[in-house]
Amino acid sequence: MNITKEQIDELNAIIKVDIAKDDYQDKVVSILKNYRKTANIPGFRKGHVPMGLVEKQYGMAVRVDEVNKLLQDALSKFLSEEKLDVLGNPLPKNQENFDWSVDDFSFEFELGMAPKFDINLKPKKAIVAYDIYADDKTIDNQLKTIQKQYGKLTSQQEVAKDSEVTGVFVNESIELDNTATFEIAQLKGKKNVDAFIGAKVGDVITVKTKGLFSEAFSYQNAFKKTEDEAKDLNAEVTFTISEINSRELAEFDQELFDKLYGKDAVKTVTELKEKMKEDAGRQFQQQSDQQLMNNVTEHLIEATKFDLPAEFLQKWIQSSGENPMTLEEATEEYNRSEKGLRYQLIEGKIIQENNLQVTFDELKGYTKDMIKMQMMQYGQMNPEDKELEDIAARILGNKEEVKRLSEQLMNQKMLTFFKENVNLKTKKVTFDEFVKEVYN
């Protein structure tokens, strides 16, 4: 057997594999002899079938199977020994009039080579890392929400400015049929408020979706759509009232504090605010970390310049999918996934050069910590290590869970690496300022 590689350019190569009869013949003969011992062919006793008949019936299939096995093993070994950094898998070149009846074979495969590139983690213009904090306005709004949530509902005969109404929004043409509850104070504009004031249970009110509410979250609640989608919709909808209530705000007393944080954990409104700021800080940290990952990822994709073997990858996508694809469909899929592929290569280089691989011990420790936190939420504050080990072993026995947890742990490692190595500029903002900057 002989294997050679021809480099077409920096990103493309051809591998040629020559297989001679001597490479596979002994194995084929051995298999056919075993077939002869077990073959059931009418007119012959078991084990006494003439070898020529066995070869005629099974010889070609066995030869093809053994040559393909040799071919795949040889390719895998060659790529490993030569340490070739390839994208996708080798693609067999179309060889017209290929003849399996000859003794010697020659196969050719296309390779897409991974590009070489450098990564700049210290851009001149620093990447923004948001430090989101809960300002007094945010905390006050949360306090009001808590008071409403734990407050007492009182039924009303007709809608007033302090009312909370429940009903169904309907518009058949846009397939809208959604039950929603909202406060009259959430409505935007005097015209919309006036449409509801004085209405009773059973009344049907007609309004436009565009500009109906003051806050974006209200659109999701009412129409199961974002504010922008509702604006573009600009549909006329009906709202049939089923309930009208006023909500008496709950008092901040020890009973409410205990409901929120457990017995005697909080004793004053001042302590409650501090707890809420801590909770908000943890929630905001997750959002700021995710945005940092987004910002760094976008920078690395834009700033790290390299070519890809696009034509090869398009053909590989076309041939590797579960369902048949045209070349045009494969090209579209490549264009959609190109950014993701570029980041995979950049991330892989960072992981390799900085030894950020996830070890099994790290994964087990991460899994045990996750289990411990979940158990603490249910009051098990000090679980025994053996119990954690047993639960972790069950979880890590599931391949899908291992993949999911490994990805989570690698994301943590990458985030820590970026915080320590990328040129960052910290920007302290309120949550409203963060939303305005990032999402508007």
The CATH number of whichever domain residue 68 belongs to comes to: 3.30.70.1050
Residue 161 shares a structural domain with residue 243: yes
Predicted confidence at residue 217, as pLDDT, reads 82
In a domain, 253, yes or no: no
Residue 45 shares a structural domain with residue 159: no
Instruction: For residues 184 and 214, give the distance between their C-alpha atoms in angstroms, rounded to a whole number.
Output: 11
Predicted confidence at residue 231, as pLDDT, reads 67
Residue 77 shares a structural domain with residue 210: no
Predicted confidence at residue 383, as pLDDT, reads 85
Residue 299 shares a structural domain with residue 430: yes
Predicted confidence at residue 366, as pLDDT, reads 94
Q: Residues 144, 150, 156, CA angle at the centre, nearest 5°?
A: 90
Predicted confidence at residue 233, as pLDDT, reads 78
Residue 102 shares a structural domain with residue 162: no
In a domain, 392, yes or no: yes
Residue 244 shares a structural domain with residue 203: yes
Instruction: For residues 424 and 295, give the distance between their C-alpha atoms in angstroms, rounded to a whole number.
Output: 10
**Structural domain boundaries, residue 50:** 2-113
| Residue ranges of the chain with per-residue pLDDT less than 70 | 227, 231
Predicted confidence at residue 433, as pLDDT, reads 92
Contact (Cβ atoms closer than 8 angstroms) between residue 217 and residue 439: no
- Tokens in use for 400? 């899908």
Predicted confidence at residue 54, as pLDDT, reads 85
Tell me the CA end-to-end span of the chain in Å, nearest whole number: 62
In a domain, 256, yes or no: no
In a domain, 59, yes or no: yes
Residue 335 shares a structural domain with residue 412: yes
- Tokens in use for 199? 């209405």
- Tokens in use for 146? 């808590």
C-alpha 197 chain-centroid distance:
46
Contact (Cβ atoms closer than 8 angstroms) between residue 109 and residue 89: no
Residue 419 shares a structural domain with residue 338: yes
In a domain, 333, yes or no: yes
How many domains would you assign to the chain? Answer: 3
Domain CATH code at residue 191: 3.10.50.30
Residue 220 shares a structural domain with residue 156: yes
Contact partners, residue 239, CB within 8 Å, separation at least 6: 167, 168, 169, 170, 204, 205, 206, 207
Domain endpoint, select from 113, 141, 175: 113
Contact (Cβ atoms closer than 8 angstroms) between residue 93 and residue 108: yes
Residue 409 shares a structural domain with residue 305: yes
In a domain, 228, yes or no: yes
Q: Considering just the CA atoms, what is the radius of gyration of the chain in Å?
A: 34
In a domain, 41, yes or no: yes
Residue 382 shares a structural domain with residue 411: yes
Predicted confidence at residue 35, as pLDDT, reads 86
In a domain, 138, yes or no: no
Domain endpoint, select from 182, 215, 248: 248
- Tokens in use for 155? 């039924």
Residue 274 shares a structural domain with residue 405: yes
Domain CATH code at residue 369: 1.10.3120
